[in-house]
Amino acid sequence: MQSNEVLEKLPKHLMSLVIEQPYNNYTAQDQAVWRYIMMQNVRFLNNVAHGSYLGGLRQTGISVDEIPQLYGMNRILKEIGWAAVAVDGFIPPAAFMEFQAYKVLVIAADIRPVDQIEYTPAPDIIHEAAGHAPIIADTRYADYLRVFGEIGSKAFSSAKDYEQYEAIRHLSILKADPYTPQDVIAAAEERLKIIENEPGEPSEMSLIRNLHWWTVEYGLIGDLKHPKIYGAGLLSSIGESSNCMKPEVKKLPYTIDAANFSFDITTQQPQLFVTPDFEYLKTVLNQFADKMALRRGGLYGINKAIESRNIGTCQFSSGLQVSGTFTEVIGQDDKPVYLKTTGPTQLCYNNKQLKNHGKDNHQEGFGSPVGRFHSSPIPPELMTTRDLEKLGIIVGNVVHLEFESWLTVDGKLNSILKKEDKNLIFTFEGCTVKFHDQVLFQPEWGIFDMAVGQTINSAFSGPADPNAFKLSYPAPKEKTHKILHSREARKLHTLYQEVRDIRTDGHPFKRIPDIWQVLKTDYPNDWLLPLEILELARKHRIRRGLEAEIRAFLLERQQQNPELTNLINNGLNLIDATKQIF
């Protein structure tokens, strides 16, 4: 993998999802699919895409003629401060967002099969490279992507989210394999519908994924009546990029309400949202972020961490960050009084693990009061040594702390950990912690590290210091299928390769009539290679009558398979308009 300065900053836990781009596995038919879609897109999107799209194609090193190689893209992307990595299909949403926060495009290495050329529910290199990459050349949009990643990666997920992710990934893998039986696909679609229809309050991640879908994937920009396309899902779908402009597809002003509109990856969308400009996207994103535990903190934030049943972080107003699986909170007057984790926990400051406060030091969990001391209006994190001494809080002494909530801490104060003149941790031995009659910590349990802070000002998904926590995203158990083509399919791909070599490397054109004879006899259902041959026949006048013969063949294919009408007509129109199909 060609590295650049951006990739070198990626944390280790994301690298486990990165794969080498299997470039040699792309068939000549795959290359033809890429070329057909890209030339159709360039022709159509020239009038309907955001103005930065076509220039962005050139600026990000994406060729119309062949599937891009990521090492080449990375050499060019570094000039605009971005990078790209290959992954195996869908990856966990939190990981996807975090890559985005590091300004790294995640590119699914596979390419859609020819029978999904107009629309595919699975992420593929056409969607990622030709859809996402060109628009990031616009610095305002690129910054929106980065900020979205920073915020989105902190959103709390639910157990349903993880189940839904696995179901979506499974379905996309099945649909990307042209040899998957239809009944197997139908069963996977039904399973996904069951999960999506399960009752329950939507998680932060599910809501922010909706915002991502209606902007980054399927966004429109400009005037509500005459918008332009900037969403990657539309830019990479020659079917939907055309259909989305029809009046049947509702165009709604983009607002925070879009978070409440779910989406269906298996079909085209019934409505789309229009933002007036890229800056407004950040306005709505910040409106949503203000409602998240990330910015609300408090009792709300801790409860969101508990509901997620996964690793989360609660940050005290002192800056101390507690990362672990939160399992309990005591509240009073809508304020947290005491919080608790179960299992390995780390303590951090500024997203760096504090010495002697990693998972090994807090293997069984962590608990601490939250709030001010009863006898002082000063937030405990801001109290000076003199302020503390007035309350009898002196290192080496037996100390009695009484919080405004009437929670008490009694024990010998061994030390005070400070950072930037803020008190972070009081460490006690022989300590008892009580809330009314409830004992929260007993002397025989060992050393008690008490977090210091008047409030919890933030709560977010994941550990504060992922590397020290040894966070990892295991490689997906179910891999995208390595397509095992039949003997007949491999022979067809050989014909595609011959035509490709003739067009790109100047191989003798005299082979074209022979290739055509084999194609129409052995592969009468193929329509894409006949278009490529027609291009060469028209451009180089290879044999009298050949062009008319191929046209008649394609028109017959349309009559036999009406679903191919648009695809074939688009190819013929491009030939007639430019005398060159791709």
Nearest of 458, 329, 452, 359 to residue 401 by alpha carbon:
452
What tens digit of pLDDT does each residue of 14-45 get? 988 999 999 999 999 999 999 999 988 888 88
Q: Quick one: pLDDT at residue 173? A: 84
Give the C-alpha separation, 449 to 456, whole Å. Answer: 17
Q: Residue 339 is encoded by which pair of tokens?
A: 């919080």
CB atoms within 10 A of CB 27: 18
Both 307 and 277 in one domain: the answer is: no
Has residue 580 got a pLDDT over 50? no
Has residue 1 got a pLDDT over 80? no
Write down the pTM of the prediction: 0.89
Both 282 and 318 in one domain: the answer is: no
Has residue 2 got a pLDDT over 60? no
Our count of domains for the chain comes to 3
223, part of any domain: yes
235, part of any domain: yes
- Domain range for 263: 7-286
What tens digit of pLDDT does each residue of 203-240 get? 999 999 999 999 999 999 999 999 999 999 898 887 78
Give the mean model confidence (pLDDT) for residues 543-563.
Answer: 92
518, part of any domain: yes
Q: Which band of pLDDT confidence, cut at 50, 70 and 90, is reported for residue 61? A: confident
Nearest of 451, 514, 222 to residue 322 by alpha carbon:
451
482, part of any domain: no
Q: 460-469, 514-523, 567-576 — which is least confidently predicted? A: 567-576
Q: Which of 233, 258, 286 is the last residue of a domain?
A: 286
Contacts of 188 (CB under 8 A, 6+ apart): 167, 170, 171, 174
Give the Cα-Cα-Cα angle 315, 202, 369 (nearest 5 degrees). Answer: 25
Both 269 and 395 in one domain: the answer is: no
Give the mean model confidence (pLDDT) for residues 341-353.
Answer: 98
Length of the chain (residues) = 582
Both 73 and 168 in one domain: the answer is: yes
Both 336 and 253 in one domain: the answer is: no
| Pair 153, 213: CB distance under 8 Å | no
SS3 83: strand
Q: Which band of pLDDT confidence, cut at 50, 70 and 90, is reported for residue 512? A: very high
481, part of any domain: no
Helices (H), 237-368: 238-243, 278-289, 293-296, 298-308
119, part of any domain: yes
Q: Residue 145 is encoded by which pair of tokens?
A: 């992507």
What's the longest Cα–Cα distance across the chain?
Answer: 103
Both 339 and 457 in one domain: the answer is: yes
148, part of any domain: yes
Give the C-alpha separation, 10 to 539, whole Å. Answer: 48
Q: 198-207, 452-461, 532-541, 570-579 — which is least confidently predicted? A: 570-579
What tens digit of pLDDT does each residue of 72-111 get? 888 888 888 999 999 988 888 899 999 999 999 999 888 9
479, part of any domain: no
Q: 120-129, 312-321, 444-453, 524-533 — which is least confidently predicted? A: 120-129
**E strands present in 420-567:** 422-435, 438-441, 448-451, 456-461
Both 511 and 551 in one domain: the answer is: yes
Give the C-alpha separation, 153 to 147, whole Å. Answer: 10
Query: Domain of 253: which CATH number?
Result: 1.10.800.10
For residue 408, what are the β-bridge partners?
Answer: 402, 434
Average pLDDT score over the chain:
91
SS3 322: strand
Q: At what angle do helices 528-540 and 28-48 cross, to 10 degrees?
A: 80
Both 450 and 313 in one domain: the answer is: yes
For residue 346, what are the β-bridge partners?
Answer: 323
Helices (H), 70-181: 70-77, 93-101, 125, 133-135, 139-152, 159-176
Q: Which of 417, 443, 469 is the last residue of a domain?
A: 469
Both 498 and 460 in one domain: the answer is: no
Both 123 and 41 in one domain: the answer is: yes
Both 135 and 48 in one domain: the answer is: yes
Has residue 339 got a pLDDT over 70? yes
Q: Quick one: pLDDT at residue 473? A: 82
Both 176 and 261 in one domain: the answer is: yes
Q: Which of 247, 267, 286 is the last residue of a domain?
A: 286
